[in-house]
Amino acid sequence: MFIWVLLTFLIGIILIPIIRKFAILIGAVDAPRERHSHKRVTPTLGGIAIFLSFSIGFFLAPIDKTGFLPVYIGALIIIITGFIDDIVELSPKLKLLGQILAALCVTVWGNVVIEFINVPFYGQIDFGWLAVPISMIWIIAIINALNLIDGLDGLSSGISIIALMTIAGMAVILKDTFVAPVAFLLAAAVFAFLLFNFPPASIFMGDTGALFLGYMIAVLSLMGFKNVTFISLLVPLIILGVPLSDTFFAIIRRLKKRTPISAADRSHIHHRLLALGFTERQTVLLIYCMALLFSLAGFVFSFSTAWGSLLLLGLLILCIEVVVEFIGLISEDYRPVLNILQKIHRKRK
């Protein structure tokens, strides 16, 4: 597979400058705005280069492609949705419609669904007719989580590489001969893009790339971890801990402020780290480290006993809560755990 992964990477290196010129030609550029960190007009549509380089590498590689057509058609729907949004800016409802159609391709046509889980100390729970809607919610949630965190140069692409490499590594351990090579190929395509996207970026992936990567990560995690125990089902959630927790707390923040969930703000994790004085590069690298820690936790979690997994999950939730309070991800005055720790510290003095 190394040859095909390297080929995919090299194709990406060749395609990205071409796509960058094409984006400028058709006016698919991102001008600096109040919520943006970049200071110059930057071409977008980098997601097209990621998609094309991955597609070429995938179809050339000696991988059993049986059953992949529904997934690929869903990817095309996502790419078209993102492309149109990068050109004319679709409404949230139309973007969601594209995501639903793509998820339907995978779940209904491709039959890639979570059919049941085995819950520790309880037994098996069959989802029955709920398998399709639950799996669709899974896919759409991860798509939007990755899209929401795409706020700094190199952020989404780096997190995607970490998630894909982790999924690929676990697929190798599970001897999955499809998910592993596909994840490696996609990671190679994204890595080629990251060379042009790391701050200061000369091209953005746009919604085309963010939606596509979120979709593929969601589908690959679904294919690699479906029909498993409750513990294993949590593994991809832990691997994607940074974008998913950022999205979760963004929803909490907006509900608290009584603003629409789809409303944009400058309180995402990267915004808060920048507000604390970190530079853009430092912020991106710091979030990479967080993503790596989540991925490591995912590996440990998957090989732990039921009690060990529950203990690790509890510690992970506590760590997330402390970080959320420290950086003010919900609000600057939300500090229940930190206040308790401060009181304990004062009593010990």
Annotated binding site: 147, 207
Q: Mind spelling out the 3-state secondary structure of the chain?
A: CHHHHHHHHHHHHHHHHHHHHHHHHHCCEECCCCCCCCCCCEECCHHHHHHHHHHHHHHHCCCCCCCCHHHHHHHHHHHHHHHHHHHHCCCHHHHHHHHHHHHHHHHHHCCCCCCEEEECCCEEEECHHHHHHHHHHHHHHHHHHHHHCCCCCCHHHHHHHHHHHHHHHHHHHCCCCCHHHHHHHHHHHHHHHHHHHCCCCCCCCHHHHHHHHHHHHHHHHHHHHCCCEHHHHHHHHHHCHHHHHHHHHHHHHHHHHCCCCCCCCCCCHHHHHHHCCCCHHHHHHHHHHHHHHHHHHHHHHHCCCHHHHHHHHHHHHHHHHHHHHHHCCCCCCCCHHHHHHHHHHHHHC
Which residues are known binding-site members for Mg(2+)? 147, 207
Measured between alpha carbons, how far is residue 15 from residues 20, 56, 85, 270, 324 in Å? 9, 11, 21, 29, 39
Structure tokens that stand for 323 in this block:
């970080």
